[in-house]
Structure 1
């Protein structure tokens, strides 16, 4: 498993897609692109469409953010290369699934993190047992200021711990800054 991290608009997706394409060409393999974004408004719809247009047309796309460990298990025999874009968006969607319309100041963040952790446990197990070349994209959120609001602070904590777990299991970790790839593990 390869983890690609960095700030927003740093070039993470472009690097992950380049790695996947090189591997696919080298091995004559098909690519599965797991896209975790949800089109919640016109801007997000446009961003998703731009990402789709940037990828090779023959890549298969799975759009979803739940039970991605199962998706990897089911698809790894068909797709020797899998890109999961992006963990941070997956966590955001799962967090909002858990929180619903509740007041962010009254949420049980520890319980929510435990449920999100189960998803990550399953994902990591699927990646560890898969024969596929898996590239996971995530945002590095720890380089900015600490957010003012409870929900944002707690999300930063959860995402930071998840990223540490992913980096620990990854054979390679790449940090992208301003489009420049810095291999920091492997």
Structure 2
């Protein structure tokens, strides 16, 4: 069992089960590895600490920046935001409603995780801002667009995660949030 494939996935599933059952603070790395049937050493090959199970990697900021940079030059910036958020939603969230909802509940239940979530959002803003500058936006426009994109993403994520599973897609929720913006912010 110890050498079975998908060690990272097994550790993530075990951690989320334990976080949901007993809370983030009460869960230890040895408990996670025991549930996954792996060693503590294997855990630390994949994650720096148990927070990283919740916030592993920087793939969303990297992916978002790449998608912004790859968007056609003639597409309006707010439409770029919509397209990028749809792509991230389809790749990362649409098939994972239950896990995403559980993840949001875990984050919201712990001050340390909320702080880490805020830092990850700041990383996303920074990456998006740089990508918009590279597209030719002024630094001020890029900053506003990046903040707007992350705000839309966060509101859509929280709304979608809190909704009944299967009631709507993350992309439909993104469009709903964009439609709720004041007229001055619409394309």
TM-score range, shorter-chain basis?
A: 0.3 to 0.5
Q: Which has the higher helix share?
A: 2
How does the TM-score come out when normalised to structure 1?
0.37
How does the TM-score come out when normalised to structure 2?
0.37
Q: Which has the higher strand share?
A: 1
Q: Which structure ranks higher in relative contact order (CA pairs < 8 Å, sequence separation ≥ 6)?
A: 1
Q: Which has the larger radius of gyration?
A: 2
